[in-house]
């Protein structure tokens, strides 16, 4: 495979842990008071799990188990469902900080809905709403994500999928003991070859 072909499949935009923290802090400066805990919890869950944006908006309150320390992801909410290779139900353990953030949010939600993350106008935030939220807080924080060519992007490059890549970066560079197999399991790739193709360069970043 040529270098040019590789560049089309490798993760091209990601955030480092301190940049995600900057985004979460920015929530409390630029978002309406009643949305701040929702937005913080949404970013925390996205960064912990690497959920695809469609999976994130489909999360219901009752998908959280064991005092908000475990996320249940039904097969029908996952990518490529249904087909001959439909995914299995996923159970994702959550970091203590994510659990605390979710618990605080759930204890003071301004809107009681089945969906974990309602929007101002509807009972469930949409995928575009998540993208708009991330762009808003990224601009407030002045976050410039890292790019594959070694340069830096601008706040508008902070997307839900960039968070997915950021989970892989964190696991390979900021945490000890993880391998590409651990990344594959967290992100629920169909094969280890996908994980290797997209993220093997993170081992040397």
Q: Using one digit for the tens of pLDDT, what is the confidence trace for 113-135? A: 999 999 999 999 999 999 999 99
pTM of the entire predicted model? 0.89
If you search the block for the tokens 């805990």, which residue do you land on? 37
Predicted local confidence at residue 6, as pLDDT: 45
- Topology adopted by domain 3-204: hpI Integrase; Chain A (1.10.443)
Instruction: Report the percent of the chain where pLDDT is more than 90.
Output: 68
Query: Domain ranges in the chain?
Result: 3-204
């Amino acid at each position: 495979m040529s270098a040019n072909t590789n560049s089309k499949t490798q993760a091209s935009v990601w955030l480092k842990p301190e940049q995600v923290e900057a985004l979460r802090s920015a929530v409390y400066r630029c978002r309406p008071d009643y949305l701040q805990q929702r937005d913080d919890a949404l970013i925390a869950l996205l960064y912990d799990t690497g959920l695809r944006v469609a999976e994130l908006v489909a999360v219901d309150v009752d998908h959280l188990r064991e005092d908000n320390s475990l996320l249940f992801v039904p097969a029908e909410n996952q990518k490529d469902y249904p087909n001959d290779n439909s995914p299995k139900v996923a159970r994702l353990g959550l970091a203590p900080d994510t659990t605390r953030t979710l618990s605080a949010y759930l204890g003071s939600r301004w809107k009681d809905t089945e969906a974990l993350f309602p929007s101002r106008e509807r009972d469930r935030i949409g995928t575009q709403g998540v993208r708009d939220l991330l762009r808003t807080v990224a601009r407030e924080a002045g976050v410039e994500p890292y790019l594959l060519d070694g340069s830096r992007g601008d706040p508008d490059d902070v997307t839900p999928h960039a968070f997915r890549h950021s989970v892989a970066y964190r696991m390979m560079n900021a945490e000890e003991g993880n391998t590409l197999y651990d990344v594959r399991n967290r992100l629920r790739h169909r094969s280890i070859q996908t994980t290797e193709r997209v993220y093997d360069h993170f081992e040397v970043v």
